[in-house]
């Protein structure tokens, strides 16, 4: 059993609580992403689980054992950091096997594990090279190989792709997810990038101000956001918000659910911006001081300043309480 359980986990720095009563479980073999903006507490939570920071309160269990007061080496986990943290004077092979040497694993077993892991991550041709002779993606594979070769069933990753360019990030997202599934690892992955979270995770834990804002599948967070913060943070572009006619709440509508019409729609506004993305176009429409964004397929023939109508289906509406900024009992949106 390689389950991770945290209960009422808290970390205070003076009067400020970086992590405030967080509880969740990562099941054996599950890929869970801690997602959120800078300063939300996601990396601090990961460091607490890794044993790199002592908690102020709460408990942490790994493999069914309470590890709250144990050091990192006693928790039977591997970790991949944002920095590659490779030794520049050692070749790739020694970088990968260094942890095994420190633990006293025999040379024969180290070589056996190295051959298998290097093949898994595609580093076999580069084992004799120094890190300075590798690309950024190859160096990140070295860090991954070092985590895999430890053969520990729990792996923690702290924004491991943030130093890579867009193309490499996409390639490494695919590789990490495939590795996790192939090896059956329990993985807790920290990122501020919603694309990483949505494309890689079995489950996403969205954090804000040290607390969990929503915990669910990627589809849950996108299709059924519980709060306005979740609706804004998950989705590109962010969800549009329109005041309810009776001013009792706010209605959210995704860009792809807004339909542009040449005649009067449910709303009518002026085209303020057009962003062509190739497969589709984002059209920004000004209405009563708000900027509403509609996603249309392909290129748009609209011009700036042109008046357009906006329509949508009732089923596409997300209703939020204006004070709590949370989802209450849904009400139908009337024509404006």
Residue 1 confidence (pLDDT): 59
> Please, which residues bridge with residue 7 across strands?
59
Q: 17 and 174 in contact (C-beta within 8 Å)?
A: no
- Separation between Cα atoms, residue 259 and residue 261, nearest integer Å: 6
Q: 225 and 204 in contact (C-beta within 8 Å)?
A: no
What are residue 204's phi and psi, to 5 degrees? -120, 130
Residues whose CB is less than 8 angstroms from the CB of residue 279 and which lie 6 or more positions away in sequence, other chains included: 297, 298
Residue 331 confidence (pLDDT): 46
Residue 297 confidence (pLDDT): 93
Kindly report, residue by residue over 131-172, the tens digit of the pLDDT.
899 988 888 889 888 888 988 889 999 988 887 788 878 888
- Separation between Cα atoms, residue 324 and residue 107, nearest integer Å: 60
Angle at 266 between CA 264 and CA 267, to 5 degrees: 75
Residue 336 confidence (pLDDT): 40
- Separation between Cα atoms, residue 57 and residue 105, nearest integer Å: 36
Q: Are strands 280-287 and 203-208 parallel, antiparallel or unpaired?
A: unpaired
**Regions of the chain with pLDDT less than 50:** 330-336
> Please, which residues bridge with residue 208 across strands?
211
Residue 35 confidence (pLDDT): 98
User: What strand order describes the sheet that includes 57-62?
Assistant: 16-26, 4-13, 57-62, 65-66
* Residue ranges of domains in the chain, CATH in brackets: 4-223 (3.40.50.300), 239-321 (2.40.50.140)
Local structure of residue 267 (DSSP, 8 states): E
Tokens encoding 252:
């959210």
């Amino acid at each position: 059993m390689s389950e991770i359980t945290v209960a009422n986990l808290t970390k205070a720095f003076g009067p400020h609580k970086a992590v405030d009563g967080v509880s969740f479980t990562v099941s054996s073999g599950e890929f869970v992403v801690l997602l959120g903006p800078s300063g939300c507490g996601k990396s601090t939570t990961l460091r607490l689980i890794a044993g790199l920071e002592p908690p102020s309160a709460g408990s942490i269990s790994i493999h069914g054992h309470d590890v709250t007061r144990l050091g990192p080496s006693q928790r039977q986990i591997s970790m991949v950091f944002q920095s590659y943290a490779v030794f520049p004077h050692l070749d790739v092979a020694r970088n990968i096997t260094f942890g095994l040497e420190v633990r006293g694993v025999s040379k024969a077993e180290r070589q056996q594990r190295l051959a298998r892991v290097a093949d898994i991550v595609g580093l076999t041709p580069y084992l004799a090279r120094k890190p300075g002779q590798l690309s950024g993606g190859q160096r990140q594979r070295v860090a991954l190989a070092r985590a895999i070769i430890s053969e520990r069933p729990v792996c923690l990753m702290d924004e491991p792709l943030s130093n890579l360019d867009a193309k490499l990030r996409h390639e490494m997202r695919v590789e990490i997810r495939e590795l996790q599934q192939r090896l059956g690892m329990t993985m807790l992955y920290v990122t501020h990038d919603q694309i990483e979270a949505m494309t890689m995770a079995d489950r996403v834990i969205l954090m804000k101000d040290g607390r969990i804002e929503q915990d669910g599948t990627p589809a849950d967070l996108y299709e059924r956001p519980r709060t306005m913060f979740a609706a804004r943070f998950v989705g590109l572009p962010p969800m549009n918000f329109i005041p309810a006619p009776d001013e009792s709440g706010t209605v959210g509508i995704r860009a792809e659910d807004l339909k542009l019409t040449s005649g009067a729609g449910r709303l009518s506004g002026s085209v303020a911006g057009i962003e062509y993305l190739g497969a589709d176009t984002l059209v920004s429409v000004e209405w009563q001081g708000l900027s509403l964004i509609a996603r249309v397929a392909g290129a748009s023939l609209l011009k700036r300043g042109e008046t357009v109508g906006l329509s949508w289906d009732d089923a596409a509406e997300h209703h939020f309480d204006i004070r709590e900024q949370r989802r209450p009992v849904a009400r139908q949106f009337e024509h404006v």
